[in-house]
Structure 1
Amino acid sequence: MLAMFKKLMAFGPAFFAIGYTIGTGSVTSMIVAGSTYGMSLLWVLFLSCLFSGALIYAYGNYAIVTGETALYAFRKHLKFGKPIAILIIVGVTFGQWNSLMGILGISSNIIFEMLALYSPSLNQYKYELVLAIAVSVISIMYAIMLIGKYSLFEKILVMFVSCMGISFVFSLLVVHPMPAEVAAGFVPSIPNIEGGKMMVAAFVGTTMAAATFLSRPLFIQGKGWGMENQKQQKKDAIVAACLVFVISASVMAVAHGALFHEGKKITHVLDMVNALEPIAGKTALTVFFFGTLAAGLSSVFPCLLIAPLLIADYRSGKLDTKSSQFKAITGVACIVALIIPVFGFNPIKGQILSQVFNVFVLPLVIIGILVVMNNPARMKSHTPGKLLNLLLGLSLIFALVISANGVIAIIEQL
């Protein structure tokens, strides 16, 4: 067990990438997609993970070779770098804090539903208990934030992500789609029904999250990796992309196998209880809920971290987790996180919409790394090869197409 834990810790930055990428927003999007559209959007997930892997590697490699972090490099080397970096900070912070509200709302609801599953009498106190759970969870998270140790954040994320992955794969063994349906999901198509365009944009927004790539150099800095760790960094990026695909596809497949053919659609956390319990039983349902909870809690840390880290990145290019600025901004984020639990909004619709907004800064993030990475004066003999440039170029085209699709989807919702 100790040897396995040491191997997992070797992939520390990968777990931060998974934490940013797979939260309750991602799980919600996968559940809604699987229950509503079957496996037809699996191709979007695959491309998103492929391009995400390339971007995770690109940002990590740039940091190792130059010693510079992302926004610091943009500000220093790009024309109009300062306004671009500020725009990215505002856009990413808005998306991540919006996600944080939904994450805490859904996670608190999940804990309540797991308790109510075995003690139905608690339903009469739902609002009060959900709010109390939310306040308790965010308070514990903030207390851990105040410790300010990268190694501690990493260990907690390893635990949450491991629980999440095991839970969802176990659920897939209980409820799964037919192999032919999975194969058909790799054929590109956009569901020509209401909400189809929005869901495609949400998929990309949650899987190709700009925060994942921007924070990569900072976490590599926290890990202490240098030129001697280039191969390890590459392996770490591949592991992150593969695990994101496997875990996300498992969630979609469970929702497809349990709900799609029954014609059941998910609009509220409680719907998963009513839909899955008769098929999977209480034990399997509890495992699935535990995985969703782990997904939520694994994303709370990165979402709380993102704003102060990006600001520190822009100003000095250094990982900063102990300053008064870090504590103040994460404190504000904790208060923002309580908005949905306090007002009792349905967090699922908000989560999907927040993932759509995450797409809009993505093209800037891709263009930025393409420009700074292809400068021989800084990268010397480590400029990206044709394959990496091709993947990054394709990811930019993909992001632009999906962003346009997201604009159309939002206009249609007005």
Structure 2
Amino acid sequence: MLPILKKLMAFGPAFFAIGYTIGTGSVTSMIVAGSTYGMSLLWVLFLSCLFSGALIYAYGNYAIVTGETALFAFKKHLKFGRTIAILIIVGVTFGQWNSLMGILGISSNIIFEMLALYSPALNQYKYELVLGIAVSVIGIMYAIMLIGRYSLFEKILVMFVSCMGISFVFSLFVVRPLPAEVVAGFVPSIPDVPGGKMMVAAFVGTTMAAATFLSRPLFIQGKGWGMANQGQQKKDAIVAAILVFIISASVMAVAHGALFHEGKKITHVLDMVNALEPIAGKTALTVFFFGTLAAGLSSVFPCLLIAPLLIADYRSGKLDTKSTQFKVITGIACLVALIIPVFGFNPIKGQILSQVFNVFVLPLVTLGILILANKKALMKKDAPGKLLNTLLVMAFIFAVIISANGVVALFEQV
């Protein structure tokens, strides 16, 4: 078991990327998409993961070669870099804190539903128990934040992400979708139904999360990687992109296989229980819920970290997890996270909407690294080749199109 753990720890920054990318927002989007549209959006997921892998690698390679972090480099080397960096901080923080509310709301509901599955009498105390669970979870997370050690955060994320991946792949073998329908999902199409555009934007918002790329140089700094680790950094980026695709596609396929042909749609967390239990059984359903819970908890850490890390990145270009500023901002994030559990909003609708907001800073983040990585004075012989540049240009065009699609989707919701 020890050699496996050592191999997993070698991919530490990859697990932060997965933690940012696959949370309850991602799982919710995949379940809603799979149950409502089948596998027809698999092509969006594939492109998002492909471009994400390129961006994770590009940001990581830039950090290793120059020793600079993302926003610090934007401020230092780009025209209007300070303004761009500030806009990114505001946009990413808004998106991630919105996600955080949904993550805690859904995770608390999942823990409650798992308990109520075996003890139905608890349903009469749902609001009180869900709120108590939410306060307990965020309190524990904040206590771990106060320790302020990167290596501890990494170990906890490895545990959560591993549990999540095993649970969802296991569920896929229980609820087996038709292979032909999975393959058909790679043919590009946007569902011409109400909410179709919103779902596409949510897909990209959760899979191509700007926070994933911006935080990459900071976590590489925390890992202590330098020029000798360039090959390892490349493998790490590839592993992150592949795992995000496999785990996310597994969730979509489970929802497709179990719910789509039955015409069952997901609007509340409880719907997942009612829809999946007759097909998967109580044990398999518990495993799936455990995976969703692990996805949520693996995202709470990065979402709490993001605002203080980006501010420290902008100001000094250093990973900061121990200052008073870090503790105060993460404390505020914890209070924000409790909004959905306190007021009892539907966490699924809020979670999908928050993923849409994540796409709006994506074009800036993509264009920024495209410019920086091609500055010969900074990168010298390590500037991107034709393949990486092509992927980065395509990622930028894709981000612009999806952002425009997100604007249209939001106007349609008004």
Task: Measure, in 2, the Cα distance between the counterparts of 1:333 and 1:38.
Answer: 35
Where does residue 81 of structure 1 map in the other structure?
A: 81
Following TM superposition, by how much is the alpha carbon of 1:176 offset from its aligned partner in structure 2, in angstroms?
Answer: 2.0
Task: Measure, in 2, the Cα distance between the counterparts of 1:43 and 1:52.
Answer: 14
One-letter amino acid of the structure 1 residue matched with residue 189 of structure 2: S
One-letter amino acid of the structure 1 residue matched with residue 393 of structure 2: G
One-letter amino acid of the structure 2 residue matched with residue 189 of structure 1: S
Where does residue 58 of structure 1 map in the other structure?
A: 58
Is 1:396–2:396 an aligned residue pair? yes
One-letter amino acid of the structure 1 residue matched with residue 195 of structure 2: G
Task: Measure, in 2, the Cα distance between the counterparts of 1:132 and 1:250.
Answer: 31
Task: Measure, in 2, the Cα distance between the counterparts of 1:410 and 1:375.
Answer: 36
For 1:34-58, what per-residue CA distance to the aligned partner results, in whole angstroms no more than 9, with x for missing partners?
0000000000000000000000000
One-letter amino acid of the structure 1 residue matched with residue 7 of structure 2: K
- Gaps in structure 2 of 5+ consecutive residues: none
Following TM superposition, by how much is the alpha carbon of 1:280 offset from its aligned partner in structure 2, in angstroms?
Answer: 0.4
One-letter amino acid of the structure 1 residue matched with residue 12 of structure 2: G
Where does residue 294 of structure 1 map in the other structure?
A: 294
One-letter amino acid of the structure 2 residue matched with residue 150 of structure 1: Y
Where does residue 323 of structure 2 map in the other structure?
A: 323
Task: Measure, in 2, the Cα distance between the counterparts of 1:361 and 1:324.
Answer: 28
5 Å-filtered alignment, 1:92-241, equals 92-241=92-241
Is 1:307–2:279 an aligned residue pair? no
Where does residue 6 of structure 1 map in the other structure?
A: 6
Is 1:38–2:38 an aligned residue pair? yes
Task: Measure, in 2, the Cα distance between the counterparts of 1:118 and 1:150.
Answer: 37
For 1:174-194, what per-residue CA distance to the aligned partner results, in whole angstroms no more than 9, with x for missing partners?
002101000100000000011
Where does residue 386 of structure 1 map in the other structure?
A: 386
Task: Measure, in 2, the Cα distance between the counterparts of 1:289 and 1:179.
Answer: 24
- Whether contact under 8 Å (1:29, 1:203) holds in the other structure is yes
Q: Matched residue of 1:225: which SS?
A: coil
Task: Measure, in 2, the Cα distance between the counterparts of 1:197 and 1:389.
Answer: 28
List 4+ stretches of structure 1 deviating above 2 A: none
For 1:105-129, what per-residue CA distance to the aligned partner results, in whole angstroms no more than 9, with x for missing partners?
0000000000000000000000000
Where does residue 367 of structure 1 map in the other structure?
A: 367
- Whether contact under 8 Å (1:107, 1:296) holds in the other structure is yes
Where does residue 343 of structure 2 map in the other structure?
A: 343
For 1:320-351, what per-residue CA distance to the aligned partner results, in whole angstroms no more than 9, with x for missing partners?
00000000000000000000000000000010
One-letter amino acid of the structure 2 residue matched with residue 282 of structure 1: K
For 1:5-54, what per-residue CA distance to the aligned partner results, in whole angstroms no more than 9, with x for missing partners?
00000000000000000000000000000000000000000000000000
For 1:130-178, what per-residue CA distance to the aligned partner results, in whole angstroms no more than 9, with x for missing partners?
0000000000000000000000000000000000000000000000210
Where does residue 412 of structure 1 map in the other structure?
A: 412
One-letter amino acid of the structure 2 residue matched with residue 140 of structure 1: I
One-letter amino acid of the structure 2 residue matched with residue 62 of structure 1: Y
Task: Measure, in 2, the Cα distance between the counterparts of 1:288 and 1:378.
Answer: 46
Task: Measure, in 1, the Cα distance between the counterparts of 2:221 and 2:120.
Answer: 48
Higher mean displacement: 371-380 or 4-13: 371-380
Following TM superposition, by how much is the alpha carbon of 1:221 offset from its aligned partner in structure 2, in angstroms?
Answer: 0.1
Q: Matched residue of 2:186: which SS?
A: coil
Q: Matched residue of 1:48: which SS?
A: helix
Task: Measure, in 2, the Cα distance between the counterparts of 1:71 and 1:98.
Answer: 21
Task: Measure, in 2, the Cα distance between the counterparts of 1:97 and 1:112.
Answer: 23
Following TM superposition, by how much is the alpha carbon of 1:73 offset from its aligned partner in structure 2, in angstroms?
Answer: 0.1
- Whether contact under 8 Å (1:176, 1:256) holds in the other structure is no
- Whether contact under 8 Å (1:21, 1:209) holds in the other structure is yes
Task: Measure, in 2, the Cα distance between the counterparts of 1:155 and 1:196.
Answer: 38
Task: Measure, in 2, the Cα distance between the counterparts of 1:99 and 1:290.
Answer: 19
- Gaps in structure 1 of 5+ consecutive residues: none
TM-score scaled to structure 2, two decimals?
Answer: 1.00
Task: Measure, in 1, the Cα distance between the counterparts of 2:150 and 2:176.
Answer: 37
One-letter amino acid of the structure 2 residue matched with residue 157 of structure 1: L
Task: Measure, in 1, the Cα distance between the counterparts of 2:5 and 2:91.
Answer: 36
Where does residue 355 of structure 2 map in the other structure?
A: 355
Percent identical pairs in the alignment equals 88
Following TM superposition, by how much is the alpha carbon of 1:356 offset from its aligned partner in structure 2, in angstroms?
Answer: 0.4
For 1:57-104, what per-residue CA distance to the aligned partner results, in whole angstroms no more than 9, with x for missing partners?
000000000000000000000000000000000000000000000000
